[in-house]
Amino acid sequence: MTKTDMKLKLKNLPTASGVYLFKNRAGKYIYIGKAKNLKNRVRTYFQSIQRLDAKTARMISKAVDFELMETANEVEALILEANLVREHKPQYNVDLRDDKHFPYIKITTKDPFPRVLIVRRMENDGATYFGPYTNAKGMRRTVHFLTGLFKIRTCSYTIPHPKGKLYDVCLDYRINRCGGACAGHQTQEDYKVLIDSVLMVLSGKSNKLIASLTEKMKAASVEMNFEEAAEFRDKIEALISVKVKQNVDVGEIVNRDIISIAREDKDAVAVVLQIREGALIGRQDFQLRSEIDETNQIIYDTFVTQYYNHQPNMPSQIYLPIELPDTKLLETWFKKEKGSKVKIVTPKIGDKVRLVDLAARNARLLLDELLIKKMTYTERTSKMVTSLKDDLKLSRSPRSVVCFDISNTGDTDAVGSCVYFENGKPKKSQYRHFKIKGVKGQDDFKMMREVIGRYFFRIKDEKLTPPDLVVVDGGKGQLSSVVAELNYLGFDKQPIIGLAKRLEEVFLPNNSDPMTISKSSPSLILLKQVRDEAHRFAITYNRKVRSKRTITSALDNIKGVGPSKRDALLKKFGSVKRIKETAPETLVELNGINLKLAKTILSELKSK
């Protein structure tokens, strides 16, 4: 975008609330923000550079364009910003890492006999969700405990049976972990009572549940139904034993989340202590990435927005160590989501401050563990590189290592891969893949020679720095073929080895016998990592090429379907499978396809 276009765009900014998205030259979003007034907010980024903080100045220097999305109000802008940041993960926004991978507990409450499931995504399907849980192992133990305690079914049967039949009971029923709803041993009303108990425990209402079970136990005893009373007693004791482990009690029956963040350079760890009915029932922790000069307020504001954007169980109070600029806006949003008031508090004195301090100590502890792991990994990879230099007797440490592999399906779809490791770690921006062009039939030696020849020809042509070490996936034959190609291109001094799969043998040029490297040597471990990554990358590309060829040929063989119609069909429907499932009248909507051709396409595809 030219400066004139940018000035014109800034002149015509709307005054509505909404979201703005800055883009770099590659068209990638690098920062996403919200605004009560888009005109006033966006213009502040284009004032004198001296007035901007260092991070904003860096971002604006890379921004060449921006997009706007208007919303009805500021709360909608806040929610939209959270969703867009979560989706695009812009470089200059605080990044809540890997949150989409954390599991949830899902209870299919709309079913007649609900199930308790572990899922990775929340859906708008009427089910009840709890999570996300960063401690997946602990969450699975909880699910196992609750389904066993309340005899919740773990099968995938549709109950009642669509045809009115009864199922045979499984092992869970026989060992008293299930009530046998599938075989008609439980009514829907009885099962609902058990599911409600699970919901109460997961919602942090164990005290209320224990009181209810105690009343039922006493009633059963009065009626001399001692077997039923014993079952209630066992459930009460199990629930109390779990509560004993939750040893932080704040003396108030209020549901709270206590949040604290510890940070160092670009790394940060956020901790959420979950207090329900006065007891600490869990801790969630998240890794974050931010710019070094980002303010604590922005980091806390972003984390709170991202965390509660997909949090199905909102507390009544949220404790933070610092005040946020968007507190009122966040409270309005949370009230809308929860259906009741949610208060964001920054405690100053007393027990509540000690709770925030507890969260802060947890966050610092986890951050220290993260930094130690990173330091250990750096030291370990450095040791691997040094060990590789010594074992291979190289003149310098192989800081950059490339590895090549070939993958084919018989005589077709032959491809090559090149992976790049720098200081013992993969650098995926330098990965390359190749379609074999000059070799017919199945000849791995010639294919490897072609791939490495093309790679080093580019290095020579563009005057690039060659890697410190080349690894060929193969033995003496592949290595000899490749060395000849490197000599031809003038790279006769290039360090290169072959790594054979069968016995993990390392071959050097002009040496028919393999080197002996200890199986536990750090250098051999690194070589195997590099080789396995090249193999994975080659196979992935081979599957992609093969799949594309299969899809293309299925359409190309149909009379009346040329390249333009084929591309239009795939662009519209995405796959041959979806085209097969489409009605002829829908295909006719595409230009150049009449009803007769549409029926021919479907007939041909369904016959294959």
Q: Indicate which CATH number applies to the domain containing 286.
A: 3.30.420
- Per-residue pLDDT at 322: 93
What total number of domains does the chain contain?
5
Contact partners, residue 276, CB within 8 Å, separation at least 6: 203, 204, 205, 255, 315
One-letter identity of residue 491? F
Query: What pLDDT score was predicted for residue 8?
Result: 78
pLDDT in tens, 180-212: 989 889 899 989 989 998 888 887 777 778 888
Q: Quick one: CA torsion of 585, 591, 592, 597, rounded to 10 degrees?
A: -20
Query: Is residue 552 in some structural domain?
Result: no
Kindly state whether residue 216 falls inside one of the protein's structural domains: no
So what's the pLDDT on residue 278? 66
Question: Which of 189, 203, 372, 224 is closest to 277 using CA atoms?
Answer: 203
Sign of CA dihedral 276, 278, 284, 285: positive
Nearest to 528 by CA among 447, 478, 481, 471: 471
Q: Is residue 129 part of a domain?
A: yes
> How confident is the model at residue 601, as a pLDDT?
85
- Which of left, alpha, beta for 35 (phi over 0: left; psi -120 to 50: alpha)? beta
Q: Which tokens sit at 19?
A: 């979201």
Residues 13 and 114 in one domain: no
For 369, phi then psi, to 5°, come to -60, -40
CB 303 within 8 A of CB 96: yes
DSSP codes joined into one string, 176-198: TS---GGGT-S-HHHHHHHHHHH
Asked if residue 249 is part of any domain, the answer here is: no
Q: What are the two backbone dihedrals, phi and then psi, of residue 252, each rounded to the nearest 5 degrees?
A: -130, 140
Residue 415 forms part of a structural domain: yes
Both 414 and 283 in a single domain?
no
- Residue-level pLDDT at 312: 75
Tell me: do 415 and 457 sit in the same domain.
yes
Is residue 252 helix, strand or coil?
coil
Domain match, 66 and 121 both = no
Q: What would the two tokens of residue 487 be?
A: 């000599």
Separation between Cα atoms, residue 397 and residue 82, nearest integer Å: 45
Q: In b/e form, how buried is each residue of 429-455, taking b as 16+ CB within 10 angstroms? A: eebbbbebeebeeebbbbbbbbbbbbb
Q: How far from the centroid of its chain's Cα atoms is residue 462's Cα?
A: 37
Instruction: Based on the fold, state whether residues 574 and 489 are members of the same structural domain.
Output: no
Residue 288 pairs with which residues in a beta bridge?
Answer: 96, 268
CA atoms of 360 and 356, how far apart (whole Å): 6
For residue 402, how many C-alpha atoms fall within 13 Å in the half-sphere facing its CB? 22
Tokens 């164990």, located at residue:
206
What is the Cα gyration radius of the chain? 31
Beta bridge partners of 403: 419, 471
**Within a domain: residue 250?**
no
Q: Residue 552 and residue 574: Cα distance in Å, rounded?
A: 12
Q: Is the peptide bond before 14 cis (omega within 30 degrees of 0)?
A: no
Q: What's the CA gap between 80 and 409, in Å, rounded?
A: 46
- Assigned domain for 326 exists: yes
Please report, for the domain that includes residue 472, its CATH number: 3.30.420.340
Domain with 137, as residue range(s), is 101-204
The verdict on 480 and 538 lying in the same domain is yes
Looking at the fold, whether 335 and 295 belong to one and the same domain comes out as yes
Which of 502, 525, 546 terminates a domain? The answer is: 546
Of 297, 290, 298, the C-alpha closest to 264 is 290
- Cβ burial of 175 (10 Å; 0-12, 13-18, 19+) is exposed
DSSP label at 515?
Answer: B
Ranges in the chain, pLDDT < 70: 1-4, 97-101, 134, 241-253, 277-279, 281, 377-381, 410-411, 502, 549-553, 608
Give the pLDDT score at 518: 81
Query: In this structure, are 406 and 540 located in the same domain?
Result: yes
State whether 581 and 536 are in the same domain: no
What DSSP assignment string belongs to 288-315? EE--TT--HHHHHHHHHHHHHHT-SS--
CATH number, position 600: 1.10.150.20
Would residue 290 count as lying in a domain? yes
The answer, as to whether pTM is greater than 0.85, is: no
Backbone angles phi, psi at 336, to 5 degrees: -65, -40
In whole angstroms, how far apart are CA 516 and each of 95, 165, 386, 474?
45, 67, 17, 16
Is 18 in the same domain as 88? yes
My answer on whether 415 and 533 are in the same domain is yes
Return the residue matching tokens 């329900």.
276
Tell whether 417 and 478 lie within a shared domain: yes
CA distance 430 to 534: 12
| pLDDT score at 131 | 73
Q: Give the per-residue pLDDT at 244.
A: 45
